[in-house]
Amino acid sequence: MPDDAWIAVGIHQDPGDRPSRDESAPRRRKIAAAVADLQALHVIVVGRQMDPSRQERARRKCLERLLHLLAEAQVERVVLESRSPRLNAADGSLVDMLRVRNAIPAMLRISTERPETEPLLWVADAVAGAIRMAVVGTDGHHLDTLAAKTEIVELRV
């Protein structure tokens, strides 16, 4: 992987004041074009056929697959969007379990940040939003813009 490359990852959370489905179509086009111009590969793991009552289980499965893919790509640092203290602890427990099973390497540093302190978290939201819009059929243009730099992995959860 080139030194100047980085990977934006997404398990979509609350977009806050970052790009969202409420953006106008012209603004979404501008966002997709800006993200497509980045020197980045976007890896998105999408959980399909998810039982809404088991959302956290589905998230863990998606996060496990995502971390495995990033480790294979020799990524050294992953920043997850911070959630509540309880949910951050659950993510930390998952990471610990994956390390014990040697499913991810020790050199893979994983931290949580708030969007206010890590503005690049909006990239993951923009890519996840483009995928969501394409899947529900409201607008596939933005995903087409990102397609060359986006790897989508679907899981049945």
pLDDT digits (tens, 9 = 90+) for 10-62: 444 344 445 555 677 777 778 778 877 877 777 778 777 667 788 888 889 98
Q: What is the pTM of this model?
A: 0.74
Least confident stretch, 15-29, 66-80, 124-138: 15-29
Task: Yes or no: say if 60 and 97 are a contact pair by the CB < 8 Å rule.
Answer: no
Beta strands in the chain (DSSP E): 6-10, 40-48, 77-81, 109-113, 150-156
Q: What are phi and psi of 138, to 5 degrees?
A: -85, -30
The torsion defined by the Cα of 138, 45, 22 and 111, in degrees rounded to 10, comes to -170
Task: Yes or no: say if 41 and 70 are a contact pair by the CB < 8 Å rule.
Answer: no
Average pLDDT along the chain: 78
- pLDDT above 90: percentage of residues in the chain: 28
SS3 25: helix
Which pLDDT band, with edges at 50, 70 and 90, does 5 fall under?
A: very low
Supply the pLDDT for residue 118.
Answer: 86
Res. 63: pLDDT tops 90: yes
User: pLDDT: is 63 or 134 the higher one?
Assistant: 63
Res. 138: pLDDT tops 90: no
Q: Which residues pair with 154 in a beta bridge?
A: 46
